Structure 1
Amino acid sequence: MGGIGKTTLAKVIYNEIMDYFDSCSFLKDIRATVLHLGGLKCLQNQLAADLSRCKDQDFTTTDEGMDELQRRFREKKVLVVLDDVDDSNQLKELASVAWFGPGSRVIVTTRNKNALGLTPEELQYEVEEMNPVWSMELFCKHAFRSDSPTVELRALSDAIVNTTGGLPLALEVIGSYLCGKGKVIWKETLKKLKEKPHMKVQEKLRISYDSLELEQQKIFLDIACHFIGKDRRVAIHMWEDCKFYPESGLDELILRSLIKIGGDNTFWMHDQLRDLGRAIVQQEDEKEPGNRSRLWNNEEALSVLQEKKSTLACLRLEPSRYPPIVAL
């Protein structure tokens, strides 16, 4: 998922082993570069310039770039990092370890496992969220410039770190924001984080959501609002009736690390992704819950029903807190 630390990890590995290779190149933000800065030909030129240590590269087409990269560097032992790949064609036209000399390595970071097309010789590693001890240490490095919190802010630090779900991006962004701030700001920030993720974190996470098809987005929002911890079979029939093609939709969400399905067949979603989904639904109408497509808050859902406001929303009422509603 976004913000989990893929690029940071790749940079550490790159810096640790680069001296063992004849030439090296780190192509960052490939998704954004292809989208905004001239496409794959621009990246091929950069790759050739990095590996040859010459800046006058200018391929006229991507096909020429592929041919030239293989011809020039087939005898060189190279290290290439392709950061934030989101399409298999990007790998096809940028770099394959088979193009280069023996001992070469190509490291790829991606949010989309479909982009990899792994062969048996290739290895895959899924970056997981940080454990509580490391999460606190990372947060404190940014919030306090030390490895541990102050006595006065320890309890608030624990609460804030817990809301991030071990997401390094959130720990860094929120910690940096709170550095030097007073306790009142810390309390206010914690309250905001319990309602929705920090704006910068949300922007990073939303990239994966925006890349989904409409039906897949609806499935994602349904899970975020209603089905975390629920058996997938409870929802699958509903999505089939809605013609959302749920099997392929769920497969795409899993491949993009937006959800997981546990051994007990239940949905799991990172807390920050859950909060992103709910924030997207809230933005449909900030003031009037009855105009939103989904309601998950018990008080809001009950209020909409009691006031008999027109709504197309899906509702979730927890039976442990409220008796069944027969008529209103």
Structure 2
Amino acid sequence: MAGIGKTTIAKALYNQISSNFDVKKFVPNIKGRMKDSVTLKQVLRYFLGEKVKRKVLLILDNVRSERELEVLPVTLECFGPGSIIIITTRQVKHDRFHGIGVNHIYRVKEMDYNECVELFSWTAFKKVTPERSFSRLINYAIEYCDGLPFALVAIGSVLLERSIEEWESVLQRLESSGGA
């Protein structure tokens, strides 16, 4: 599902574990990089061109088709022991990844209501607990965003440090425009 937080999770994981690898690369928006195949080939040449196999962390973000994976001459065997390849996707079925050595698939779950409130509150109020006087509007915003983290953060940041009247106005405009 778009906006559920796949890229955010991959970036957070990269930031947390990248210091444990000899070579690390986060390649955002593979679809866009595929158009610029020279850049992607340079990235892969950097990984594959070394004589000594090194411990590599490679994150390929936003893979949208099986074809994008087929043109990548990458398997875990290309790298040294302990290497990790992470792929974020919403369209490629998990059985398509077996050829590159995938040994685990993590499906991002949708946030529950309380998690939505907490994320929205951190964004709109800069604290974990929302203002009670905003409860009705918070519920409306969460419902409007359909619980998607990206939308909650986007709308929450627009509403930061605004009055109830400003919240009502912004949310009313969003509803009448038909888009987040």
* Band of TM-score, shorter chain: 0.7 to 0.9
Distance 1:9 1:91 in 2: 21
The letter for the 2-side match of 1:77 is K
The runs of 5 or more residues in structure 1 that have no matched partner are: 52-68, 199-328
The letter for the 1-side match of 2:110 is E
The runs of 5 or more residues in structure 2 that have no matched partner are: none
Residue pair 2:94, 2:105 contacting (<8 A) in 1 also:
no
Residue pair 1:87, 1:114 contacting (<8 A) in 2 also:
no
The letter for the 2-side match of 1:107 is I
Larger radius of gyration: 1
Question: How far does the alpha carbon of each residue in 1:64-83 deviate from its partner, in whole angstroms, 9 at most, with x for none?
Answer: xxxxx2x5266111110001
The letter for the 1-side match of 2:103 is E
Distance 1:110 1:81 in 2: 11
Number of residue pairs aligned between Structure 1 and Structure 2 = 176
2:128 matches 1:147: yes
- Aligned match of 2:57 in 61, 79, 89? 79
1:34-183 matches, cutoff 5 A: 34-35=34-35, 39-49=36-46, 51=47, 69=48, 71-72=49-50, 75-94=53-72, 95-114=74-93, 117-119=96-98, 121-183=102-164
Question: How far does the alpha carbon of each residue in 1:101-151 deviate from its partner, in whole angstroms, 9 at most, with x for none?
Answer: 122110000121248712285322221221111111111111111112223
Residue 9 of structure 1 aligns to a residue whose secondary structure is helix
Change (3 A) 1:85 1:183: same
Distance 1:132 1:148 in 2: 13
Distance 1:23 1:133 in 2: 38
Residue 106 of structure 2 aligns to a residue whose secondary structure is coil
Distance 2:164 2:117 in 1: 18
TM-score, normalised by the number of residues in structure 2 = 0.84
Distance 1:20 1:12 in 2: 14
After TM superposition, the runs of 4+ consecutive aligned structure 1 residues lying more than 4 A away are: 192-195
What's the counterpart of residue 15 of structure 2? 15
1:252-267 matches, cutoff 5 A: none
Change (3 A) 1:26 1:47: farther
Distance 1:7 1:74 in 2: 30
C-alpha RMSD over aligned residues:
2.4
Higher relative contact order, structure no. (Cα contacts within 8 Å, ≥ 6 residues apart): 2
Residue pair 1:3, 1:170 contacting (<8 A) in 2 also:
yes
